[in-house]
């Protein structure tokens, strides 16, 4: 069977899936992200065993593991994660040793870009922006992601003025899905499980929710406009948790970016075709590539 197990470690949850060579997610789980690297490795092993158990293929499938933050794919090192509080973890070697097989290791957002480019029908030159617990982007030029030692695309760390003070803070502290939820809770006094509840509250007429979302999209639009001025109007694909808000969110974001651009042409801005599965599909494709399985992209197959 041409399939791989993919595990996408997020700031708050770990998504995993059994994905075949056509990019179909045959089984899927979501579990809380453990608080330490040893516990994370144990959860990875448990997830791999769970997906393989249903097929009776213990220990035989390729595994792709992707994590957030600064990632040196070539060295297999998780260099830094602001949200998970780790530095210089030799994650590929540790995961391979724990599973007793090679593990294809990389960056979560670059995996999402790979999935969208290969099977999502997007252009081979684009900017993929994942807005979840944090914010990160991947600049893809002629099918090749710009990596720069793992530091390229970390737009979530751009410094902006905190809308509630005069402090300079990271963009992801204002515009990420995680920030939307926390800023709404602070403004309203009502705890929410995630940004989706804030979007739902705004749709229902909650003025505090609408204000938090409008500010987040305004700050994100400024970052995307800056990217367009620096790179030209490359297509922009929005993935991660914020993409679940769908076309209403994207429409507002487009309008805000358009207001900021003058000479530079307006880029197309769309949500990820593969939705929340972009990153596990991309991680699986990388694992299948490493195992020598040929997976045609959507444009080649059409």
Give SS3 for 287: helix
- Tokens 């990271």, residue? 170
Contacts of 182 (CB under 8 A, 6+ apart): none
Residues comprising the chain, all counted: 302
Q: List the one residue out of 48, 68, 66, 69 whose CA is nearest residue 3.
A: 48
**In angstroms, rounded to a whole number, what is the distance separating the alpha carbons of residues 275 and 199?**
17
**d(Cα 250, Cα 18) in Å, to the nearest integer?**
30
Q: What is the pLDDT of residues 12-50, one digit of tens each?
A: 899 999 999 899 999 999 999 999 999 999 999 999 999
Q: Which pLDDT band holds residue 82 (cuts at 50, 70, 90)? A: confident
> Mind listing the pLDDT tens digit for each residue in 97-152?
999 999 999 999 999 999 999 999 888 999 999 998 889 999 999 999 999 988 99
The better pLDDT of the pair 302, 6 is held by: 6
Average confidence (pLDDT) over 270-283: 92
pTM over 0.95: no
- What mean pLDDT value characterizes the chain? 91
Each residue of 144-175: pLDDT tens digit? 999 998 899 999 999 999 998 889 999 999 99
Statement: residue 302 has pLDDT above 50:
no
pLDDT classification of 276: cutoffs 50, 70, 90: confident
Q: In what order do the strands lie in the sheet with 126-131?
A: 144-145, 135-141, 126-131, 236-239, 269-271
Structure tokens at 131: 């807005």
Q: How far is CA 220 from CA 73, 104, 117, 151, 291, in A?
A: 27, 31, 22, 19, 38
User: Which tokens belong to 167?
Assistant: 């402090």
| pLDDT at position 93 over 90 | yes
Decide if pLDDT at 56 tops 80: no
């Amino acid at each position: 069977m041409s399939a791989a197990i993919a595990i996408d470690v997020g700031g708050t949850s770990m998504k995993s899936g059994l994905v075949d060579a056509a990019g179909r997610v045959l089984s899927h789980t979501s579990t809380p992200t453990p608080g330490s690297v040893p516990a994370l490795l144990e959860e990875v092993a448990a997830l791999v065993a769970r997906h393989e158990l249903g097929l009776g293929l213990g220990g035989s499938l390729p595994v792709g593991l992707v994590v957030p933050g600064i990632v040196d794919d070539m060295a297999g090192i998780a260099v830094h994660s602001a949200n998970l509080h780790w530095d210089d973890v030799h994650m590929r070697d540790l995961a391979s040793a724990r599973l007793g097989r090679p593990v294809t290791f990389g960056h979560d957002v670059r995996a999402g870009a790979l999935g969208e480019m290969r099977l999502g029908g997007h252009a081979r030159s684009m900017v993929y922006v994942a807005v979840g617990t944090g914010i990160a982007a991947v600049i893809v030029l002629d099918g090749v992601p710009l990596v720069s030692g793992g530091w390229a695309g970390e737009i979530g760390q751009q410094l902006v003025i905190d809308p509630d003070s005069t402090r300079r803070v990271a963009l992801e502290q204002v515009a990420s899905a995680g920030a939307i939820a926390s800023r709404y809770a602070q403004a309203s006094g009502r705890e929410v499980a995630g940004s989706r509840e804030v979007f739902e509250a705004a749709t229902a007429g909650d003025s505090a929710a609408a204000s938090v979302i409008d500010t987040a999209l305004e700050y994100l639009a400024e970052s995307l406009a800056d990217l367009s001025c620096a790179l030209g109007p490359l297509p922009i694909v929005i993935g991660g948790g914020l993409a679940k808000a769908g076309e209403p969110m994207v429409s507002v974001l487009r309008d805000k970016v358009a207001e900021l651009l003058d000479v530079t042409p307006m880029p197309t801005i769309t949500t990820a075709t593969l939705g929340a599965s972009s990153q596990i599909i991309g991680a699986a494709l990388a694992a299948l590539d490493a195992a020598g399985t040929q997976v045609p992209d959507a444009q080649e197959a059409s």
